[in-house]
C-alpha cells in the first residue's frame, strides 16, 4: 500500500503566451512506493522505494519517478568536495525510472506512449545538427522497461537505439538536465523560463558514490518543457 508522505510542493501558476491558452499548474508529492513491476529485477534493486509524483492542476497524475539509491561517479576527492556534476557520472548510467499513466510530450516535443521507462544519462552530440537545440548537453534518455536489463553501463549507441523505441522515431526520447550546484535538501519543483516558454524543473539531491565513498549529485530535471527547435 502506498503511503503519502506529509509534504507537497506546489508550483506557481504560469501564464501561457499563446492567445487563448489555458493556465496550467503542477505540483509534486513524495510517496512510499516500490518500483514498477514492469522493470527488470536488476533495475528495481538499484532504485529507491520512494517515488516522486508530478500532478497537474486538477491533481491528476502526470508521471511517477523513482531514482537510484546511489548514482556511481568517477570523481576525485576535490570534485566530490566541490560538488559532483553530470560529467563525473559515466554516460549511460542508470539514474532512475518513470511511469507514465498517460501520453507524455518530451523535450523534443515527441509523443511518448503510456508505460514504464528507465532513465539513463546521455550527452547531446556536439555537431551542427544539434547546435542551439538545448541550453545544456546533458539529458536523461527514456528506455522502455522491457529493453533495459539493468546493466551498469551500455554503449552509447545501444542506449540511443533503445531509447528510439520509446518514440518510434529516429531520435531518442529525452528529458533536459540543468546543472544543480546547490540542490535543495528536499525535492523542489520550480516554474522557470525556458528558451521556448515556461518549464517545470524538478530540483533534488541524489545520493552518489565516488571511489567507494558517499557523495551527492545535484539534479535539475525538466519534467515539462520543450526545446526551442522542437
Q: What is the pLDDT of residues 173-191, one digit of tens each?
A: 999 999 999 999 999 999 9
Does 187 reside within a domain? Answer: yes
The band of 207, judged by pLDDT with boundaries at 50, 70 and 90, is very high
Beta-bridged to residue 203, according to DSSP, are 188, 220
The band of 195, judged by pLDDT with boundaries at 50, 70 and 90, is confident
The band of 161, judged by pLDDT with boundaries at 50, 70 and 90, is very high
Does 229 reside within a domain? Answer: no
What pLDDT is recorded for position 134?
Answer: 73
| pLDDT average, residue stretch 37-44 | 98
Whether the Cβ atoms of residue 172 and residue 141 lie closer than 8 Å to each other:
yes
21: pLDDT strictly greater than 50:
no
What domain range is 60 assigned to? Answer: 7-224
DSSP labels, 14-38: B--SSTTPPPB--EEEEEE-PPPTT
* pLDDT digits 0-9 by tens, 120-156: 999 987 654 545 567 899 999 999 999 999 999 999 9
Does 71 reside within a domain? Answer: yes
Does 2 reside within a domain? Answer: no
208: pLDDT strictly greater than 50:
yes
What pLDDT is recorded for position 125?
Answer: 76
Domain count, the chain: 1
- Round to whole Å and give the CA distance between 11 and 34: 26
What pLDDT is recorded for position 17?
Answer: 36
E strand or H helix at 205: strand 197-210
- Round to whole Å and give the CA distance between 139 and 122: 5
24: pLDDT strictly greater than 80:
no
What pLDDT is recorded for position 230?
Answer: 74
18: pLDDT strictly greater than 80:
no
Strand, helix or coil for residue 67: strand
Does 230 reside within a domain? Answer: no
Does 1 reside within a domain? Answer: no
Does 138 reside within a domain? Answer: yes
Amino acid at each position: 500500500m502506498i503511503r503519502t508522505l506529509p509534504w507537497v510542493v506546489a508550483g506557481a501558476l504560469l501564464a501561457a503566451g499563446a492567445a487563448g491558452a489555458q493556465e496550467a499548474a503542477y505540483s509534486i508529492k513524495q510517496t512510499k512506493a516500490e518500483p514498477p513491476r514492469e522493470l527488470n529485477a536488476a533495475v528495481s534493486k538499484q532504485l529507491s522505494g520512494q517515488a516522486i509524483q508530478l500532478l497537474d492542476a486538477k491533481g491528476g497524475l502526470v508521471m511517477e519517478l523513482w531514482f537510484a539509491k546511489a548514482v556511481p561517479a568517477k570523481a576525485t576527492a576535490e570534485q566530490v568536495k566541490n560538488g559532483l556534476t553530470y560529467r563525473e557520472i559515466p554516460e549511460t548510467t542508470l539514474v532512475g525510472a518513470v511511469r507514465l499513466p498517460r501520453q507524455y510530450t518530451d523535450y523534443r516535443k515527441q509523443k511518448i506512449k503510456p508505460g514504464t521507462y528507465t532513465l539513463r544519462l546521455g550527452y547531446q552530440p556536439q555537431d551542427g545538427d544539434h547546435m542551439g537545440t538545448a541550453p545544456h548537453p546533458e539529458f536523461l534518455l527514456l528506455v522502455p522497461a522491457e529493453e533495459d536489463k539493468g546493466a551498469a553501463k551500455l554503449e552509447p549507441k545501444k542506449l540511443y537505439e533503445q531509447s528510439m523505441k520509446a518514440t518510434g522515431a529516429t531520435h531518442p526520447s529525452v528529458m533536459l538536465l540543468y546543472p544543480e550546484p546547490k540542490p535543495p535538501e528536499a525535492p523542489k519543483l520550480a516554474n522557470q523560463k525556458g528558451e521556448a516558454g515556461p518549464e517545470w524543473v524538478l530540483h533534488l539531491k541524489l545520493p552518489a558514490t565516488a571511489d567507494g565513498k558517499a557523495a551527492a549529485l545535484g539534479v535539475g530535471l525538466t519534467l515539462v518543457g520543450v526545446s526551442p527547435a522542437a
